Amino acid sequence: EVRLVGSGGDLVQPGGSLRVSCAASGFTFSGFWMHWVRQAPGKGLAWISSINTDGSTTNYADSVKGRFTISRDNAKNTLSLQMNSLRAEDTAVYYCARGGRTFDYWGQGTQVTVSS
Amino acid sequence: DIVMTQTPLSLSVIPGQPASISCTSSQSLLYGDGKTYLCWFLQKAGQPPQLLIYEVSKRFSGVPDRFSGTGSGTDFTLRISRVEAEDVGVYYCMQGLLLPHTFGGGTKVEIK
């Protein structure tokens, strides 16, 4: 069974940093692109970052470029998102998702709240 | 960026009746490999999105056959042949052709 379990969400002050993670199981993690998608309170879905199978290629939405860094550890089957210089508008549920051009499995999400 | 536009914003459906959601992209989603990268998700309350349809018309594993997807180029439709109570939630289309992958604004489906 494919499982993606997100963790690391927290309440953080504006300007602060946070690292969220996604633990994968039930499939060959190293064989799939992975993504982060976020959903602000009461809003729709927004793709924010992707990483290829070996971590050599990363992509970011303009809204997070230069502040967020996606990475993966294929030995530990883990996807991560390092978030720096956090802003109030980064408050959202952060989902990891598997796939290239189709996101077939999603994690349950981890809540990040940026507030003083 | 490719803009995805969904209509309607909301839908109230009598159980057993059909429902239809439209999604339009600002450019063709046909890729050079011959595939069209348009998919549909359902997000139930308090849950992550779940994949229903990929590549316009292919049902994902375990998705009931009352869900179907049609379309080509820039115009796409998700149809539910007979809505059931468990189908309530917000439906999103998404283009996987180009980064940034972009989503429609969502269509909320409720039972009348």
Considering only CB atoms, A47 lies closest to which of B43, B101, B104, namely B101
Residues of B in Cβ contact (< 8 Å) with A101: 31, 37, 96-97, 101
Whether residue A106 and residue B103 make contact (CB cut-off 8 A), yes or no, is no
B63 has a chain A CB within 8 A of its CB: no
Tell me how far apart the alpha carbons of residues B26 and B4 are, in angstroms, rounded to a whole number.
7
**Stretch (H or E) spanning A86:** none
Low-confidence ranges of chain A (pLDDT < 70): none
Give the sign of the dihedral formed by CA B3, CA B90, CA A98, CA A100.
negative
Tell me how far apart the alpha carbons of residues B42 and B59 are, in angstroms, rounded to a whole number.
13
The torsion of the CA quartet B57, B31, A54, A27, rounded to 10 degrees, works out to 10
Nearest CA in chain B to A107: B48
Tell me how far apart the alpha carbons of residues B15 and B29 are, in angstroms, rounded to a whole number.
33
B39 has a chain A CB within 8 A of its CB: yes
* Residue written as token pair 């879905």: A45
Tell me how far apart the alpha carbons of residues A18 and A12 are, in angstroms, rounded to a whole number.
7
What's the pLDDT score for residue A100?
87
Contact A32, A45 (CB under 8 A): no
Residue A42's contacts (CB-CB under 8 Å, 6 or more residues apart) are none
Cα angle B96, A43, B42; round to 5: 55
- Closest Cα to residue B74, out of B47, B88, B95? B95
Residues of A in Cβ contact (< 8 Å) with B90: 44
Residue of B101, B102, B107 to mutate for A, most A C-beta atoms under 10 A: B101
Contact A109, A7 (CB under 8 A): no
What's the pLDDT score for residue A7?
97
Tell me how far apart the alpha carbons of residues B109 and B80 are, in angstroms, rounded to a whole number.
11
CA B31, distance to chain mean position in Å, is 19
Considering only CB atoms, B100 lies closest to which of A61, A101, A103, namely A61
Residues of A in Cβ contact (< 8 Å) with B94: 45, 103
pLDDT tens figures, B26-84: 999 999 999 999 999 999 999 999 999 999 999 999 999 999 999 999 999 999 999 99
Which tokens hold the place of B2? Answer: 């490719």
Contact B58, B103 (CB under 8 A): no
Whether residue B50 and residue A50 make contact (CB cut-off 8 A), yes or no, is no
Whether residue B92 and residue A108 make contact (CB cut-off 8 A), yes or no, is no
